[in-house]
Amino acid sequence: MKEKRIVDILGLVEETYIAEAAPQKRQMRPGFRLRKLALCAGAVILAICLSFGTVLAVNAQWRQAVIAFFFPLYTENEICEIEEGHRSGSFDMIDTLNTFLEQFNRENMIEGLTAKKDGGFHYTLIPKDENAVNAIVECSPSSEKLLVMMERKPYEETTGLWQVTAYQVIDSQTAEEMMEDFQ
């Protein structure tokens, strides 16, 4: 039988060659180990980012804390976000701002701070884009200002409804910088 003969002849080859080719216990290639590690780290980072993003989307309190952490430039005070459903709105941006500032003073939304009203509120508007405007409002005490963030939300066959989405206390210097940047 030819096969048997092949097997017999192969059995007679030098031992050196047999030993040389012996299957080794598989060792991970160094690059492979590193790639595996990087892949695991990537997966962990991705999981963290996804969880972080989810929590950020659903929890307003957490969102405020994160924004305050990452954008400490404005102030040490955190951004107070007004949740959807608690926002008052108007088709006119100035009406919306005035209504909010009245409420701000009436409800004493930030203790010890009131929007200065002297024949009307005093503010500077800083448009971000067509549908978003920030207003820097003069306050008492004058060392602090109120940053009011407004957005125009789409509303049934109209040009949109202006709403105050968030507000934040900022210091005078930050307010000036913001206004300089705008100009």
Partner 1 sequence: MEDKQIVELYWARSERAISETKQKYGRYCRSIAYNILHNREDSEECVNDTYFNAWRAIPPQRPSRLSTYLGKITRNLALNKWEKYTAEKRGAGQVELALNELSECIPAPNRVDQAADDLAVAEILNRFLASLSKEARMIFMRRYWYFSPIKEIAADFAIGESKVKMTLMRARTALKNILEEEGIEL
Interacting residues toward partner 1 by CB under 8 A? 1-15, 17-26, 29
Residue 182, helix vs strand vs coil: helix
Q: How far is the CB of 83 from partner 1 (least distance, A)?
A: 57
13 or 179: CB nearest partner 1:
13
23 or 119: CB nearest partner 1:
23
Q: How far is the CB of 85 from partner 1 (least distance, A)?
A: 60
Q: What share of the chain is helix, strand, coil (3-state, %, to 5)?
A: 45, 25, 30
28 or 50: CB nearest partner 1:
28
Q: How far is the CB of 35 from partner 1 (least distance, A)?
A: 13
- The strand ranges marked E within the chain are 80-81, 89-90, 114-115, 123-129, 132-140, 144-153, 161-171
Q: How far is the CB of 16 from partner 1 (least distance, A)?
A: 8
Provide the token pair at 43: 């997966």
Helices 60-70 and 30-58, packing angle to 10 deg? 120
Using an 8 Å Cβ cutoff, are 93 and 100 in contact? no
20 or 130: CB nearest partner 1:
20
